[in-house]
Amino acid sequence: MTITLKQFAAQCDKMAAELHADRVPVKVVTLAALQLKNAALVQLRKSVPSARLRNMRNARLTARFDVKTSGAARAFALVQANGPWQIIESDTRPHVILPKKIGRITGRGSKRANREAVFNRVFGGSGAHYPGAKPLRTPYGPRYRVQHPGTKGRHPWRTAVEATSAVAPKAMSASVVETFARVFR
């Protein structure tokens, strides 16, 4: 097939117009966001098979994404981790766990008194009794104060982002090749 220089120039103009108008195609962004979400859920299932945190009121861990366009046909996606992902994503430091209802003081000066009462209970100061509080259930019997050793994060979100970081550029280049083939046929 032979084309004239004028036809070739018209095709080049059409190609430039399509690439400029469709700078980031919505389908490419949707594909990349979907792959990131799916990779995050796969990594989550490796860390937490049920995708629920039993000790946090059976909290559910999920991921979702929204694809939006703004301005000159630019598409972007917001991929979100829903639920308390930070519990399994990040490390936690050692900390003290106290009963939920430790004796609360009300009235004038109560803010300072409550803060002092908490510090006394944590550090074993004077008046470290627990009126009205039920002890925590532990494997070693009831305790009013438990020292938690901390945890090591499993980083499923970070692993998923690293695994899918090459997806978007490949999808974008495939979209450009597709546009090129459509225009120059």
**pLDDT, tens digit (0-9, with 9 covering 90-100), for 68-85:** 887 666 788 999 999 999
CA–CA separation, 158 vs 71, rounded Å? 30
Are 10 and 74 found together in one domain? Answer: yes
Are 124 and 170 found together in one domain? Answer: no
pLDDT the model gives residue 71 = 67
Are 163 and 87 found together in one domain? Answer: yes
Q: Are 98 and 132 in contact (CB under 8 A)?
A: no
Are 85 and 100 found together in one domain? Answer: no
Q: What is the pTM of this model?
A: 0.69
Average pLDDT over the chain, rounded to whole? 83
pLDDT score of 108 more than 80: no
Range of the domain at 138: 95-148
pLDDT the model gives residue 105 = 64
Are 119 and 42 found together in one domain? Answer: no
Q: Are 34 and 63 in contact (CB under 8 A)?
A: no
Are 168 and 119 found together in one domain? Answer: no
* Confidence grade of residue 44 (pLDDT, cut at 50, 70, 90): very high
* Confidence grade of residue 125 (pLDDT, cut at 50, 70, 90): low
Are 29 and 119 found together in one domain? Answer: no
How many structural domains are present in the chain? 2
